[in-house]
Structure 1
């Protein structure tokens, strides 16, 4: 096969994802797409075999002369290995240290990250069916669910679009109850594109309703504070008026204007402190004092 003449170092800018413990599917998809677009991924799969190292003479057989094809292949393969290494995290790089070819490195990574154990498959299935939207947006929740589905599919599990929709609906909060009922009541299947569009529409409606409610509550609070301020001012005025009236009455009582009783005579009460401390009550009949 003819190897693309593109410079390998120019491909690095096209690969924006670094391999981590939890994103092999995404990283592998981008890496393969870029390399296959330039007919270079065959180095990693072993489809483009290394040519013979030494030239062969019809007269003397194998010589000690290294072929040009071999030199070019090794040069290109090492460049691709360097490209692969540049897309790895430090933790992922530990798994390919010592690999001499791009194919060997790819197989090590595939064995480490792509092979999902039975226990891991069970964990992924549990996460898939119990995922919750929480405070995330609809789009972010669907992307989380898709990432889990991709890992399960890569492990050989079959996840249909209907399975995906049911899992997504189960994780929606009560605010989406109406759209959940509408989708579940459908007689025909809904595409993932339409499903996402309906959820986004419901999300916008809920956000708009919450915004209007918040604005209304704020207006009521402002109006309530204004009303309380006016009431408090009126009460304060009434308090001042009442306080003045009480003061006048008290002054008149102490000023000797007379205690009105059946006897009709002036009465000079004791000081107020003594009145309170002796627990006495005064009766107007005959202007006598009775203690009890």
Structure 2
């Protein structure tokens, strides 16, 4: 599992969701499944899945990002916190990604696949910022 840093949010989000789904706790993180209110065995099972999700998310963050989630009580709160931080569509970040797109050129040693892969990374950033 890769660690989230300042430059790999799109890949981190893709991988963390895949791991959470594989470990059967993505629905807890997304809020699709909430903590039951009455049945003690169901509450215990939900809390166990939430704890697993919190552990996965926590281990996937660098120290900078980890500081933001330390007061979160659930995996959903943790994910919402990280998403809010990373997906803020500020004017400056939109300008930066737009500039990156316009400056992107073919570099010596590139092949078509690597050029397109690099372009796809920029397009993904633009989509996450709703450009």
TM-score class, shorter-chain normalisation, is 0.7 to 0.9
User: Which residue in 2 is equivalent to 1:152?
Assistant: 126
Structure 1 residue corresponding to 2:117, chosen from 123, 134, 143: 143
Q: CA deviation at 1:136?
A: 4.7
Q: Whole-Å Cα distance in 1 between the matches of residues 80 and 42 of structure 2?
A: 24
Task: Please give the residue correspondences for 1:68-87 in structure 2 after superposition, counting only pairs within 5 Å.
Answer: 68-87=41-60
Structure number having the greater strand percentage: 1
Tell me the SS of whatever aligns to 1:133. Answer: coil
Conserved in 1, the CA contact under 8 Å of 2:25 and 2:49? Answer: no
Q: Whole-Å Cα distance in 2 between the matches of residues 141 and 116 of structure 1?
A: 26
Q: Whole-Å Cα distance in 1 between the matches of residues 64 and 109 of structure 2?
A: 29
Q: Whole-Å Cα distance in 2 between the matches of residues 99 and 134 of structure 1?
A: 44
User: Which residue in 2 is equivalent to 1:32?
Assistant: 17
Q: Over alpha carbons, which structure has the higher Rg?
A: 1
Deviations 1:238-257 (A, max 9, x none): xxxxxxxxxxxxxxxxxxxx
Q: CA deviation at 1:45?
A: 1.0
Q: CA deviation at 1:101?
A: 0.7
Q: Whole-Å Cα distance in 2 between the matches of residues 42 and 124 of structure 1?
A: 31
Cα RMSD between the aligned structures? 1.9
User: Which residue in 2 is equivalent to 1:47?
Assistant: 32
Structure 1 unmatched ranges of 5 or more: 1-14, 56-66, 158-292
Mark the CA change 1:29 to 1:39 in structure 2 (over 3 Å): closer, same or farther.
Answer: same
Normalised by the length of structure 2, the TM-score is 0.86
Q: Whole-Å Cα distance in 2 between the matches of residues 114 and 47 of structure 1?
A: 21
Q: Whole-Å Cα distance in 2 between the matches of residues 132 and 92 of structure 1?
A: 32
Mark the CA change 1:72 to 1:39 in structure 2 (over 3 Å): closer, same or farther.
Answer: closer
Q: How many aligned positions are there?
A: 130
Q: Whole-Å Cα distance in 2 between the matches of residues 29 and 93 of structure 1?
A: 18
Structure 2 unmatched ranges of 5 or more: none
Task: Please give the residue correspondences for 1:185-196 in structure 2 after superposition, counting only pairs within 5 Å.
Answer: none
Q: CA deviation at 1:116?
A: 2.4
